[in-house]
Amino acid sequence: MLLVSEPVLGADERAALAAVIDSGWVTMGDRVHEFEQVFARMHGADESIAVGSCTAALHLILHALGIGPGDEVLVPSLTFVATANAVLYVGARPVFVDVDSTAVPLMSLDDAKAKCTSRTKAVILVHFAGYLADREDWQAFARSKDLHLVEDAAHAPGLPAVGTFGEAAAFSFYGNKNMTTAEGGAIITRSRALSDMIRRARSHGMTSNTRQRLASRSPDYDVTMLGFNYRMDELRAAVGLVQLRKLPGWNDTRRHLSHYYRRLILEFCPSVMVPFDASWLSAHHIFPIVVPKAADRQSLIDQLREAGVQTTVHYPPVHRLTFYSDLYPSTPLPNTEDFAQRELTLPLHPGMTPADVEHVVHSLAVALGAPLLTSAVA
């Protein structure tokens, strides 16, 4: 089965894990610190903060920004549920914003403006599929309304422009992401005061960690704020350091595969739309397509699976999930709903070859009932 995503793990990661085990120090320590430094340099930042997940990163950012009960946060519904969950974690209300269109499934600035109220305190931009939102337009909007601007950059690690939009950016290293630490995440913020607050909140609000107390030969510490247990451990950081070295090459492979997909789909599956322009800046995390309205998406999924090709959907709209539809009924987002009903995610990962792309497009063309177009791809 050709999977939608597949982590690249091998001897380098195995050796890095063994070195941590041999060291006898597996909690947050020197490797986490090194990982933070390398990740920050990759994104042109002075520092980053490694955490247990992107969900933890989003929660910590909103918590440190002082978002709380009575506040509203603009979020897209076309995202993983964690984006909205983090808003609820701090007691605020997520306000779901539509996407621009099926061709540009990023949060609509016009709809965000229409839904902004005196209670709106922040906006979370999601770089869906790895494609970056328009920085200047969103910065201008945030300034005009005095809003905190936060990036959910789970899909976009490795792009220097990421993390430069507003107060902070949250990243994911889950197993299906462009690089992985199994579970894990990171935060980039350009504010030293915000960074210091997040760093302390990540570990119970403590003024020092175990490694620092060992080095200083003092067991004393204080707790100066409400904190959480959102730390990254040495094992994950060790894997992350190996993965970071490979990330630029992997992102480049994703880019080449994505462009090849576009060319073949245009030629052999002309009824299928590929969102975004080919020149759009992206980390190419996933490869979404929009199938024709007349197509039976489940039938396509089944036929592709029979051909050895896994597909999935990104995403079921958050506002339509039972928990959120019960909380906030009657939330019409027509563009989001149209996209979500027709979106299909094709395999894309660095382990693939051009021949794999050809096989996927061939199988898709057959499933769509276009056998006369497939011979050149088969």
Q: What is the pLDDT along the chain (378 residues), one digit of tens a residue?
A: 999 999 999 999 999 999 999 999 999 999 999 999 999 999 999 999 999 999 999 999 999 999 999 999 999 999 999 999 999 999 999 999 999 999 999 999 999 999 999 999 999 999 999 999 999 999 999 999 999 999 999 999 999 999 999 999 999 999 999 999 999 999 999 899 999 999 999 999 987 777 777 677 778 888 999 999 999 999 999 999 999 999 999 999 999 999 999 999 999 999 999 999 999 999 999 999 999 999 999 999 999 999 999 999 999 999 999 999 999 998 999 999 999 999 999 999 999 999 999 999 999 999 999 754 444 454
Tokens of 35: 């990982």
Residue pair 188/43 in contact by the 8 Å Cβ criterion: yes
- What's the pLDDT at 212? 73
Tokens representing 177?
Answer: 């992401």
> Token pair for residue 214?
């060992």
Nearest alpha carbon to residue 53 among 221, 151, 196, 187:
187
**Active-site option among 145, 177, 246, 293:** 177
- Residue 375 has a pLDDT of 45
pTM value surpassing 0.85: yes
DSSP 3: -
Q: Can you give the pLDDT at residue 372?
A: 45
* Cα–Cα distance measured from residue 315 to residue 342, given in angstroms and rounded to the nearest whole number: 11
Sign of CA dihedral 102, 87, 50, 10: negative
pLDDT at 228: 97
d(CA 253, CA 13): 20
Q: Which pLDDT score is estimated for 216? A: 72
Looking at residue 150, its amino acid is: V
Q: Which domains does the chain have, with CATH numbers?
A: 11-241 (3.40.640.10), 248-373 (3.90.1150.10)
Annotated catalytic residue 177: yes
DSSP conformational letter for 34: H
